[in-house]
Amino acid sequence: MKTIDPGAADPGPPGAEPEPADAGAGAGAPGTAAAAVAAAGGGLGRASLWDDAWRELRRRWVFWASAGFLLLVALMAAVPRLFTSTGVNEGCDPNDAKLGPSGAHWFGTDLAGCDYYAHVVHGARPTLLIGVAVTLFAFVIALVFGMLAGYYGGLLDALIARLTDVFFGLPFVLGATVILVAFPSHGIGAMTLVLVLLGWTTMIRIMRAQVIAVRDADYVQAARLLGASDRRIMARHILPNAIAPVIVVATLNVGNVIAGEATLDFLGVGLQYPKVSWGLQLNLAQDSFVDHPHLLIFPAVFLSATVLSFLMLGDAARDALDPKLR
Amino acid sequence: MWRYVLRRLLQAIPVFIGTTLLIYAMVFALPGDPIQALAGDKPIPANVLSTLRDRYNLNDPLLVQYGKYMWGLLQGNLGENYDGQKVADMLGGRWTVTAQLALTAWIFELVIGIALGVWAGLRRGKVADTLVLGGTTLLIAVPVFVLGYTAQILFGLHWQIFPTAGTDDGWPMSYLLPGMVLGSLGLSYVARLTRTSLAENLRADYVRTANAKGLSRARVVGRHALRNSLIPVVTYLGVDFGNLMGGAIVTEGIFNLPGIGQQVFQSIQLKEGPVVVGAVTVLVLIFLLVNLVVDLLYGLLDPRIRYE
C-alpha cells in the first residue's frame, strides 16, 4: 500500500529467477544473520558503514544521554533491590494513602498506601521486558520473511504482502482489546504475544522494500555469476546491505511497543494487579490525578523518558547510518 | 487510470475479507455464552436459549456464521445485537462524534504539522529545526493518555480555556482539546516527514535549476520542492485517518465523548459480538478506501507517476 510506483506491487524480478530447488534455503538465514552483521562490522576493515556509524554516534551527546538513562532503567529492571528494599505491594498502610512526596516516601504513596517510588522501580521490569521482547520477535520475523518475500517475489511475496495488509488494517487498540479479553492469562508472555501479533507488519514492509532495492545490484549479480547459492547471496550480500533501516525502525519500535503496552495496561485489559507496571499504576490512580498530581507525574515521567530514550537512540542511529542526511 | 482503480479495488477484497474474518474469529473465540450473559446469573429456559441461539446463528460453525454475516452486509445490513437492537442504530449517532473528533485531529495534523515541517526544513540545522525536532520527539514519547489527562487538568480545569469533558458545546469547541491530544502523535510524524523530505529535495538538481532560472524563493519552495516532498506526508496522513477513527478509544474515554471507541470497548467486555464486528468492519472499509484515494493523489502531486 505504500509503494509509490503503482506497478511495483506486481512481482516481476528481472534477472532474479527464483531457483525452485532451493526453496528451503532461507531457513538458515537467521542463524547466519548475526554472523554476517558481525563480519560486516568487525571483519571488513575500517571503511565499513558500521564503523562509520559508531564513530558518528560516539560524538553525539543525545546518544550518551539516552543510552545512560536506558542503562539506569535496565538496572532497575534487572536488580530492583539496588534501588529500593521494599518489595512489590509490601509495607502498604491504607492510613497513609495518597500522601504527597516526603522524606519517608520520595514519590509519595498510592491509593492503597504503598510506597510509590518502590512501585516505579519495580514497574521497570515488565515494561522493558515486553518492549524489547516484542521488538526482537518482530525483528526476526521481518528479517526472515521480508528477505524471502523480497528475494523470491512471486506467490510467496503476494501472500506475505496480503497478510501484512490484513494485519496492518486492524485497529491496534481494538484488536488488542478483543484478543486480550478472550485470552485466559494477562501475564508478560500473553502481552508479548498479542503485541507481536499486531506489531510485526511495519518492519517486514521496510525489510522487503530494502531487499528489493538491493537484490539486482551489481555485486549481487556478480556473486550469482560466480556461482554463489541463494542462501549465501541472501546472508552475505543482501542482508548486510539491507538491514540498517530495519535496525533503526526496530530501535524506534521498542519505544512504540512500550507506549502501546502502557496504553493497554491503562485501559485495564493489560497486566493486572498484583503485577506492577507504569501503565497499571496510571490506570489505578486515574480518578485521583486532579487532586493528587504526583500519582500521574512520577510513572508518567519514567514512562515518557524511557520511550523518549529509545526514540532518540533510533534517531541518532538513523543519522549515523544514513550518510545522505549528514 | 480506471484499470488501476479496478485492480486496486479487486486487491482490497481479499484484505477486507481477511481482516473481517480475523476479527470475527477473535470475537467468536471470546469466552462465555453471550445469550447467557444477557440474563446474568439467572437461569434461561432451554427452549428460549435454543431459539435465541438459532436466531443469532450461534449454533453454526464459524465459517457459516461469517458467511451469513457477510451476506447480510452485502445487502447493507450490519446485523442485530443479541438484545434485539439494530447495530446500525446503536452505532449511528456515535459515528458523528468519532468522525468530528478524528477530523479535528486530522486537520490539526495537516495544517500545523506541515507548517512546522516546512519551517524546520527550510532552516535545517538551525535553532528552529532543533526546536521542532526536539518538541516532536517529546510529543511522540508521551503516551496519549498522559497527554490527555495533563491537557485536561491544565487547559480544562486550571485555566478553563477549553471545556473539560463532554460534547455540550458542540463542534468545534468541545472537540478542540481532544482533537489536539489525539492528533499530537500524527502531528509530530507529519512535521518530521515534511521536514526531512523538504530538506532532502531542496538539495536536488531540479531545485538548483529552478533557482538558476531566477524563480522567486516562494515559487521554488512552494511549487517545486514542497509539492514533491509531500508524497510521504500524504501517505502518512492517509494511513493515519484510519488510525484516528479506530484509535480514539483512550481520548474518547478521558474527555467523555460518546463515540465509536467507547461503544466498542464496552461491547467487547459485554461480549456483544455483532457490535464489535460491525464497527470494526466499517473502520476497515474506511481505512481501505482512504488508502486508495491516497494512492490516486500521488498522480496529482507528481505528474511523473502514471497509473497503469
pLDDT by residue (tens digit) across A225-254?
Answer: 998 898 899 988 898 888 888 888 888 889
For residue B26, is it within any domain? yes
Query: Do B99 and B79 lie in a common domain?
Result: no
CB–CB of A300 and B261 under 8 A? no
CB–CB of B249 and A174 under 8 A? yes
Residue of B nearest to A167 (CA): B19
DSSP state of A101: P
Size of interface A-B (CB pairs under 8 A): 145
List the end-to-end C-alpha distance of chain B, in Å, as a whole number: 6
Q: How far apart are CA A216 and CA A208, in angstroms?
A: 13
Which chain B residues contact residue A162 at CB under 8 A?
11, 14-15, 18
Our CA angle for B97, B187, B114, nearest 5°, is: 115
Which one, of B17, B58, B16, B18, lies nearest residue B37 by Cα? Answer: B58
Query: Do B145 and B61 lie in a common domain?
Result: no
Closest chain A C-alpha to B170 CA, distance in angstroms: 25
For residue B296, is it within any domain? no
CB–CB of B298 and A263 under 8 A? no
Q: What is the CA radius of gyration of chain A?
A: 23
Q: How far apart are CA B271 and CA B267, in angstroms?
A: 6
Contact yes or no for B229/B196 (Cβ under 8 A): no
A176-202: per-residue pLDDT in tens? 888 888 777 788 888 899 999 988 888
Closest chain A C-alpha to B19 CA, distance in angstroms: 5
Which has the minimum average pLDDT: A87-91, A261-265, B107-111? A87-91
Please compute the mean of the pLDDT values over residues A281-309 and round it to a whole number: 86
The CATH code of the domain that includes B223 is 1.10.3720.10
CB count within 10 Å of CB A87 equals: 11
- Out of A4, A169, A296, name the one closest to residue B149 (CB): A296
For residue B274, is it within any domain? no
Asked if residue A14 has pLDDT above 70, the reply is: no
Task: Please tell me the predicted confidence (pLDDT) of residue A148.
Answer: 93
Q: How far apart are CA A66 and CA B97, in angstroms?
A: 40
Structure-model confidence comparison of residues A313 and B242, the more confident one: A313
Which chain B residues contact residue A174 at CB under 8 A?
246, 249, 261, 264-265, 268, 276, 279-280, 283
CA distances, A140 to each of A26, A152, A246, B144 (Å) = 12, 18, 10, 29
For residue B185, is it within any domain? yes
Asked if residue A10 has pLDDT above 70, the reply is: no
A73–B contact, CB cutoff 8 A: no
Structure-model confidence comparison of residues A139 and A8, the more confident one: A139
CB count within 10 Å of CB B300 equals: 10
- Parent domain of B218: 94-263
Q: How far apart are CA A170 and CA A168, in angstroms?
A: 6
Percent of chain A with pLDDT over 90: 17
Q: How far apart are CA A89 and CA A110, in angstroms?
A: 11
- Which band of pLDDT confidence, cut at 50, 70 and 90, is reported for residue A6? very low
Q: How far apart are CA B295 and CA A9, in angstroms?
A: 12
Contact yes or no for A128/A74 (Cβ under 8 A): yes
Contact yes or no for A169/B238 (Cβ under 8 A): no
Query: Do B86 and B230 lie in a common domain?
Result: no
Query: Do B99 and B72 lie in a common domain?
Result: no
Query: Do B229 and B110 lie in a common domain?
Result: yes
Query: Do B145 and B41 lie in a common domain?
Result: no
Q: Is the pTM for the entire model greater than 0.90?
A: no
Task: Please tell me the predicted confidence (pLDDT) of residue A145.
Answer: 93
Amino acid at B89: D
A326–B contact, CB cutoff 8 A: no
Which of B136, B146, B196, B270 is the mutation pick for testing A, counting most A CBs within 10 A? B146
Structure-model confidence comparison of residues A148 and A183, the more confident one: A148
Which chain A residues contact residue B4 at CB under 8 A?
6
- Out of B27, B242, B250, name the one closest to residue A178 (CB): B27
Residue of B nearest to A304 (CA): B142
A residues 2-41 near B, CB within 8 Å? 2, 4-7, 9
Q: How far apart are CA A305 and CA A258, in angstroms?
A: 11
- Out of B146, B261, B276, name the one closest to residue A300 (CB): B146
Task: Please tell me the predicted confidence (pLDDT) of residue A46.
Answer: 54
Q: Please, is A225 exposed, middle or buried when counting C-beta atoms within 10 Å of its C-beta (0-12, 13-18, 19+)?
A: exposed
Residue B291 makes CB contacts below 8 A (sequence gap 6+) with: A1, B238, B239, B242
CB–CB of B264 and A174 under 8 A? yes
Query: Do B108 and B248 lie in a common domain?
Result: yes
Residue of B nearest to A160 (CA): B15
CB–CB of B137 and A315 under 8 A? yes
Please compute the mean of the pLDDT values over residues A91-112 and round it to a whole number: 74
For residue B302, is it within any domain? no
Residue B28 makes CB contacts below 8 A (sequence gap 6+) with: B62, B65, B273
For residue B308, is it within any domain? no
Task: Please tell me the predicted confidence (pLDDT) of residue A7.
Answer: 36
Query: Do B82 and B220 lie in a common domain?
Result: no
CB–CB of A324 and B200 under 8 A? yes
ipTM: 0.79
Per-residue pLDDT 10s for chain B (308 aa) are 788 888 888 888 888 888 888 888 888 777 777 777 777 777 778 787 788 777 777 777 878 888 888 888 888 777 777 777 888 888 888 888 888 999 999 999 999 999 999 999 999 888 999 999 889 988 988 888 889 988 888 888 888 888 877 777 777 778 889 999 999 989 999 999 999 889 888 988 989 999 999 998 888 988 888 888 888 888 888 888 888 887 788 898 888 888 888 888 888 888 788 888 888 888 888 888 888 888 788 777 777 777 66
Which of B7, B13, B139, B145 is the mutation pick for testing A, counting most A CBs within 10 A? B145
For residue B123, is it within any domain? yes
Q: How far apart are CA A125 and CA A53, in angstroms?
A: 30
Query: Do B208 and B104 lie in a common domain?
Result: yes
CB–CB of A311 and B268 under 8 A? no
Closest chain A C-alpha to B192 CA, distance in angstroms: 11
Contact yes or no for B189/B117 (Cβ under 8 A): no
- Out of A6, A169, A312, name the one closest to residue B288 (CB): A169
DSSP bridge pairs for B86: B80
Query: Do B141 and B232 lie in a common domain?
Result: yes
For residue B305, is it within any domain? no
Task: Please tell me the predicted confidence (pLDDT) of residue A68.
Answer: 92
Please compute the mean of the pLDDT values over residues A72-84 and round it to a whole number: 86
How many folded domains does chain B comprise?
2
Query: Do B40 and B183 lie in a common domain?
Result: no
Q: What is the CA radius of gyration of chain B?
A: 24
CB–CB of A311 and B137 under 8 A? yes
Residue of B nearest to A325 (CA): B200
Which chain A residues contact residue B15 at CB under 8 A?
162, 165-166, 169
Query: Do B110 and B234 lie in a common domain?
Result: yes
Q: How far apart are CA A211 and CA A77, in angstroms?
A: 36
Q: How far apart are CA B238 and CA B193, in angstroms?
A: 14
Residue with cell 492510613: A95
Buried b (16+ CB within 10 A) or exposed e, B146-157: bbbbbbbbebbe
